[in-house]
């Protein structure tokens, strides 16, 4: 039972948005350059964020890094993604407590699950980032914003969805509209 | 200070003198502002009513399909399911430790063109709309016997059903289905209160009854001798094989995305799980375009009536030639005369705004019960939101701006004024 398996895995990781490895699983995700998915779950002062993007948007190529320059690009992108809150209050009160960056070509969680699992090298690669943010003062604001567009010019559109105690909603974020309001 | 009071009293006296013409202008402006304000108000209300069609449900699970399709057939009763879900999958999902409650939904039959929803008692407890308002019964009870049926408010009103009425459901959708479940009539056990959502447009029976109705219908029509009679059906117990969709509430909504992702990878069968709030907002993004057009049109209507206002002011300018000349003779400075013009315009606009507020409130208060019963749209009276106040306050501001043209004209003319009969134009 796959569901049961990922339940225990999740229990171990206590990560609300990380429901087991989803990159390169049996069901292929949609992959469209320029677009990415952002899921935000808010509870109290805690925000769980998941960003799934084609690697192209973030590093400019989709193959495993080859040259030293490409390695450097990936390293700086991954560093940024690990240490920057993907969504933040306008007062920038959020800080990542835990972050994970998962790339199709270099899966850092390979030891957590099936070692022999074979990556489907269809020529497309995704990068998936999960973060748990701590945001004191989140209760005072219901606005969130993202700096992803500034850091990654290759990103044109972000399909954002969020759940919060005020309800669920979704919107399409663009470089011109990088802010959204929680609630229905 | 006394200057200001003088200006005000002069302006009102002057307005009163030309009250007939100005009343017509004021009426035009009032109607157009009412239209503008009304459209902005309805836009917000309809959006609110639309996005609160379902609330409190964290996930809707159905067979693999797009999120809009799943939302449309489960919540709005538009379109059809691509596939069913096995009952075993429902049990499996219901037993997940993160799931607080799960409500099964089975669709497919109809009654006089209204959808028949097969579900259980938890639907009444858990389904919420608006700001987490639960469903309430206007009369009677939610179904408890096998052949009990609960009606949505609109169904009961349109078909004039009372408690205890016998109802025969049709096999399949559509108003003119020829294959009826005539041998197994249902008894109306309850009627729901109007909600202003698609809930009003459906009838509700138990999953077991849904199953019992279809015994002997495997080939698509009733095979004589294989269907059940009401008494033999009541003696049996039924477990559905398949349902159409599941409404899920989670213990902690923060788990929504995680469960959604797992369900889309569900090993038993291909499933889709959607977040109803997100799907509703996407649907509104698609449909919401035309409300922008409406608002645009009403802005033009207000602009037209403001232009009409200047036209009238310019026309009666020649009549006011003497009035202005006398004012000048008693020592009124040209700036004050120009100011009178602007003040008049702003006063007119303010009067129109307050009239339209009054008319709008009266209209909404008197029409809202009628709208709810006839169209199922719930539009209540509420205080204006900041956007609406902004829109309303734009009217006097724009009126002041357009008054500058005749005011400036007057200021210039009144500096070179004579007592002759010559037309200043």
Instruction: Read off the pLDDT of residues B314-323 as tens digits, 9 standing for 90 and up.
Output: 777 767 777 7
A32 has a chain B CB within 8 A of its CB: no
Classify residue A29: in a domain, yes or no.
no
pLDDT over threshold 50, residue A14: no
Classify residue A62: in a domain, yes or no.
yes
What pLDDT is recorded for position A8?
37
A18 has a chain B CB within 8 A of its CB: yes
pLDDT over threshold 80, residue B154: yes
The residue of chain A with its CA nearest to that of B89 is A3
pLDDT over threshold 90, residue B273: yes
Of the pLDDT bands very low, low, confident and very high (cuts 50, 70, 90), residue B118 is very high
What pLDDT is recorded for position A27?
52
What pLDDT is recorded for position B259?
92
- B66–chain A nearest CA distance, Å: 13
pLDDT over threshold 70, residue B144: yes
pLDDT over threshold 90, residue B405: no
Instruction: Show Cβ contacts of residue B206 under 8 Å, excluding neighbours closer than 6 positions.
Output: B118, B119, B120, B143, B146, B148
Domain boundaries, position A144: 34-108+121-181
* Range among A1-15, A19-33, B130-144, B328-342 with highest mean pLDDT value: B130-144
Range scoring the smallest mean pLDDT among A156-160, B185-189, B281-285, B329-333 = B329-333
Summarised one tens digit per residue, pLDDT across range B53-93 is: 888 899 999 999 888 899 988 988 888 887 889 999 999 99
More confident residue, B371 or A169: A169
Determine whether the interchain pair A50/B257 forms a contact, defined as Cβ–Cβ distance below 8 Å.
yes
B235: which DSSP letter? H
Q: In chain A, how many domains are there?
A: 1
User: Which residues from A are below 8 Å from B285, CB to CB?
Assistant: 172
User: Which residues from A are below 8 Å from B254, CB to CB?
Assistant: 16, 41-43, 46, 48, 163
What pLDDT is recorded for position B376?
63
User: Which residues from B are below 8 Å from A165, CB to CB?
Assistant: 253
Q: Tell me the average pLDDT of chain B.
A: 83
* Nearest CB to A10 within list B253, B258, B277: B258
What pLDDT is recorded for position A76?
92
Determine whether the interchain pair B52/A184 forms a contact, defined as Cβ–Cβ distance below 8 Å.
yes
What is the helix (H) or strand (E) element at residue A134, kind and residue range? strand A126-134
What pLDDT is recorded for position B417?
59
Structure tokens at B143: 């179904």
User: Which residues from A are below 8 Å from B258, CB to CB?
Assistant: 10, 16-19
What pLDDT is recorded for position B5?
79
Instruction: Show Cβ contacts of residue A27 under 8 Å, excluding neighbours closer than 6 positions.
Output: B264, B265
Strand partners, B167: B186
Of the pLDDT bands very low, low, confident and very high (cuts 50, 70, 90), residue A149 is very high
Range scoring the smallest mean pLDDT among A25-29, A127-131, B143-147 = A25-29
- A15–chain B nearest CA distance, Å: 9
Percent of chain B at pLDDT > 90 equals: 20
Determine whether the interchain pair B277/A163 forms a contact, defined as Cβ–Cβ distance below 8 Å.
yes
What pLDDT is recorded for position A18?
46
Q: Where are the domains of chain B?
A: 2-51+290-415, 59-286
More confident residue, B274 or A106: B274
Summarised one tens digit per residue, pLDDT across range B278-289 is: 998 888 888 777
Determine whether the interchain pair B267/A3 forms a contact, defined as Cβ–Cβ distance below 8 Å.
yes
Q: Tell me the average pLDDT of chain A.
A: 77
Burial B346-361 (b: 16+ CB within 10 A, else e): bbbbebbbebbbebbe
Q: How far apart are the first and last CA of chain B?
A: 33
What is the pTM (predicted TM-score) of this model?
0.73
More confident residue, B103 or B419: B103
Rounded to 5°, angle at Cα A176 from A174 and A180 = 65
> Can you tell me the distance from the alpha carbon of B73 to that of B61, in angstroms, rounded to the nearest whole number?
12
Summarised one tens digit per residue, pLDDT across range B193-235 is: 888 888 888 999 999 888 888 777 766 677 776 677 777 777 6
What pLDDT is recorded for position A122?
55
More confident residue, B316 or B260: B260
Summarised one tens digit per residue, pLDDT across range A83-97 is: 999 999 888 888 999
pLDDT over threshold 50, residue A129: yes
Cα B233 to Cα B120, B145, B213, B216, B223: the distances in Å are: 18, 11, 9, 12, 16
What pLDDT is recorded for position A111?
41
* Nearest CB to B256 within list A41, A46, A171: A41
Cα B18 to Cα B15, B297, B306, B323, B396: the distances in Å are: 5, 31, 18, 12, 20
What pLDDT is recorded for position A29?
67
What is the helix (H) or strand (E) element at residue B101, kind and residue range? strand B99-105
User: Which residues from A are below 8 Å from B276, CB to CB?
Assistant: 168
The ipTM of this complex is: 0.73
User: Which residues from B are below 8 Å from A126, CB to CB?
Assistant: none
What pLDDT is recorded for position B174?
59
Over residues B360-364, mean pLDDT: 91
User: Which residues from B are below 8 Å from A1, CB to CB?
Assistant: 267
More confident residue, A109 or B416: B416
pLDDT over threshold 80, residue A131: yes
Taking each helix axis from N to C end, the angle separating B67-74 and B276-287, rounded to the nearest 10 degrees, works out to 100
Do strands A167-173 and B166-167 pair parallel, antiparallel, or not at all (unpaired)? unpaired
More confident residue, B338 or A150: A150
The residue of chain A with its CA nearest to that of B276 is A168
More confident residue, A89 or A12: A89
What pLDDT is recorded for position B238?
79
């Amino acid at each position: 039972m796959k569901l049961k398996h990922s339940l225990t895995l999740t229990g171990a990781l206590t990560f609300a948005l990380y429901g087991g490895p989803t990159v390169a699983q049996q069901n292929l995700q949609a992959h469209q350059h320029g677009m990415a998915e952002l899921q935000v779950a808010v509870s109290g002062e805690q925000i769980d964020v998941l960003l799934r993007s084609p690697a192209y948007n973030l590093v400019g190529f989709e193959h495993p890094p080859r040259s030293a320059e490409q390695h450097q690009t990936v390293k700086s992108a991954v560093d940024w993604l690990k240490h920057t809150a993907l969504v933040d209050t306008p007062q920038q009160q959020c800080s990542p407590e835990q972050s994970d960056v998962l790339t199709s070509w270099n899966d850092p969680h390979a030891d957590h699950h099936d070692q022999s699992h074979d990556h489907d090298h269809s020529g497309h690669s995704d990068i998936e980032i999960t973060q748990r943010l701590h945001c004191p003062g989140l209760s005072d604001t219901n606005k969130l914003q993202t700096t992803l567009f500034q850091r990654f010019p290759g990103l044109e559109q972000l399909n954002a969805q969020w759940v919060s105690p005020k309800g669920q909603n979704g919107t399409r974020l663009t470089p011109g509209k990088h802010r959204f309001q929680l609630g229905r | 200070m006394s200057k200001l009071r003088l200006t005000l009293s002069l302006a009102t006296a002057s307005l009163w003198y030309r009250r007939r013409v100005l009343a017509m202008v004021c009426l035009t402006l009032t109607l157009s502002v009412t239209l503008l304000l009304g459209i902005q108000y309805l836009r917000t209300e309809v959006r609110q009513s639309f996005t609160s069609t379902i609330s409190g449900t964290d996930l809707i699970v159905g067979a693999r399909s797009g999120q809009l399709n799943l939302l449309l057939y489960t919540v709005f009763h538009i379109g059809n399911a691509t596939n069913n879900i096995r009952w075993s999958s429902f049990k499996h999902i219901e037993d997940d430790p993160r799931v607080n409650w799960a409500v099964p939904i089975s669709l497919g039959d109809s009654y006089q063109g209204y959808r028949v929803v097969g579900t259980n008692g938890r639907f009444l407890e858990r389904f919420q709309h608006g700001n987490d308002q639960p469903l309430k019964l206007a009369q009677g009870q939610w179904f408890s016997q096998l052949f009990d049926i609960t009606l949505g408010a609109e169904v009961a009103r349109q078909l004039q059903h009372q408690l205890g009425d016998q109802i025969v459901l049709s096999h399949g959708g559509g108003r003119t289905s020829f294959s009826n479940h005539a041998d197994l009539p249902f008894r109306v056990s309850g009627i729901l209160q109007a909600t202003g959502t698609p809930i009003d447009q459906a009838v509700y029976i138990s999953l077991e009854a849904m199953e019992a109705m279809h015994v002997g219908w495997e080939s698509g029509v009733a095979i004589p001798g294989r269907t059940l009679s009401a008494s033999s059906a009541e003696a049996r117990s039924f477990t559905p094989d398949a349902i159409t969709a599941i409404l899920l509430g989670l213990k902690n909504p923060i788990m929504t995305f995680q469960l959604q992702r797992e369900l889309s990878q569900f090993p038993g069968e291909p499933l889709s799980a959607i977040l109803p709030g997100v799907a509703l907002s996407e649907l509104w993004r698609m449909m919401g375009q035309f409300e922008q057009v409406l608002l645009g049109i009403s802005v033009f209507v207000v602009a037209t009536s403001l232009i009409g206002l200047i036209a009238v002011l310019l026309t009666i300018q020649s009549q006011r030639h003497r009035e202005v000349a006398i004012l000048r003779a008693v020592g009124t400075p040209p700036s004050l005369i120009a100011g009178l013009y602007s003040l008049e315009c702003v006063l007119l606009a303010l009067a129109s705004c307050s009239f339209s507020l009054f008319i709008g409130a009266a209209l909404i208060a008197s029409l809202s019960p009628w709208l709810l019963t006839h169209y199922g749209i719930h539009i209540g009276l509420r205080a204006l939101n900041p956007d609406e106040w902004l829109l309303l306050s734009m009217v006097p501001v724009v009126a002041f701006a357009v008054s500058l043209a005749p005011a400036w004209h007057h200021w210039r003319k009144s500096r070179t004024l004579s007592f002759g009969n010559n037309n200043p134009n």
